[in-house]
């Protein structure tokens, strides 16, 4: 169960959804929804109501000043809804 949650994502959309008790997390690409639920409840001490996941495809990034391009890696995002009145501390 360790290393399932990589980090809490701090974005504009995430901060809007935090008011609705929903939080963005970057998770391991092989993690399942039940594993993410258990990891969030154990790590942050909150009650998880639902977990939604999305595989974010890595794209091409042009390196400034050159013609060379790199490929960004693919990663997985989870949107976790927690019980009303509970929070995931981001800092």
Encode pLDDT of 30-70 as tens digits.
Answer: 999 999 999 999 999 999 999 999 999 999 999 998 889 99
Calpha distance 75→91 (Å, rounded): 22
pTM (predicted TM-score): 0.86
Q: What are phi and psi of 79, to 5 degrees?
A: -105, 115
CA separation for the pair 33, 21 (Å, rounded): 18
Residue 88: inside a domain: no
Residue 42 belongs to some domain of the structure? yes
Number of domains in the chain: 1
What are the C-alpha distances in Å from 85 to residues 22, 47, 80? 12, 10, 14
Identify the CA nearest to 82 among candidates 51, 54, 53, 55: 51
The answer to whether residue 58 sits within a structural domain is yes
Asked if the model's pLDDT at residue 1 lies above 60, the reply is no
- Residue numbers of the domain that contains 73: 5-82
pLDDT above 90 covers a percentage of the chain that reads: 81
Using 50, 70 and 90 to split pLDDT, how confident is the model at 83? Answer: very high
């Amino acid at each position: 169960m360790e290393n399932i949650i990589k980090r809490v994502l701090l974005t504009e959309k995430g901060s809007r959804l935090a008011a609705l008790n929903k939080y963005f997390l970057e998770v391991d690409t092989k993690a399942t929804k039940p594993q993410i639920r258990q990891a969030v409840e154990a790590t942050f001490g909150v009650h998880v109501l639902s977990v939604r996941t999305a595989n974010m495809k890595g794209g091409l990034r042009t390196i400034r000043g050159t013609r060379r391009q790199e490929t960004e890696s693919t990663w997985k995002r989870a949107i976790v809804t927690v019980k009303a009145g509970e929070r995931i501390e981001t800092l």
